[in-house]
Amino acid sequence: MKEADAFAALISTGHALAGAGLSPGTTGNISTRVGDRILVSGTGARLGALSNDDIAILTLNGERIVGAAPTKEAMLHVRAYAVRPEVTAVVHLHSPAALAVSCLADLPEASPLPCYTPYYAMKAGRVALVDYFPPGDERLAEASGTALRAADSLLLRRHGLVTIGPELASAVAAAEELEANADIHLRLAGRAADPLSPDDVAALPHWRNR
């Protein structure tokens, strides 16, 4: 993808995520990798009003080449690309349901939510829980990078979600399904449920196995 196309894709993705109510206020940040450059939304940017001026271009090490001051969570994006070279998009949101479930006690680390629907498995893939660190803390970026070696999506404790994909559309679809599965979890409110079995999940395709 050309850089100009990547700017346009990032902007339309930001507008769509905000329009769907997944990026309250100025929360959330998104990025896409074009070759050895990372285009990431800027600090304080409102995804619903994202424009060319709100986007930073970084090296793969996270150094700013040009553009806006990057989001303070930029290193989380940098680490994701470092550990998953097949990935060209990272979405990070403080979406309401994911944020709410990230505050629940006793979430299992390896698979924090039951898999209620096949779409969750097919889009979000393997989901892991990451411990709480303050936003922008280097330890949060490190812990997220470590978790993404095995997982395809993250639930950040008391914070929100992170998804990745071989293109922006798949990272967005993963975020939407993680949010939907979190919403189902909240609506079920601890009632007896009948989620997919590990065998059901294993039989479903995910882009990782393309």
**Which residues are within 8 A (CB) of 63 and not within 5 positions of it... i.e. 6 or more apart?**
none
Q: Of 11, 34, 14, whose CA–CA distance to 23 is shortest?
A: 14
- Distance of alpha carbon 83 from alpha carbon 97, whole angstroms: 27
Provide φ and ψ at 165, rounded to 5°: -170, 160
- Pick the catalytic residue from 119, 132, 142, 167: 119
Please confirm, yes or no, whether 73 is among the known catalytic residues.
yes
Pairing of strands 127-130, 153-156: parallel
Please confirm, yes or no, whether 176 is among the known catalytic residues.
no
Find out whether 129 and 113 touch, Cβ atoms under 8 Å: no
Please list, residue by residue across 157-166, b when 16 or more beta carbons sit within 10 angstroms of its beta carbon and e when fewer do: bebbbbbbbe
- Pick the catalytic residue from 3, 63, 73, 86: 73
The residues carrying an active-site annotation are 73, 119
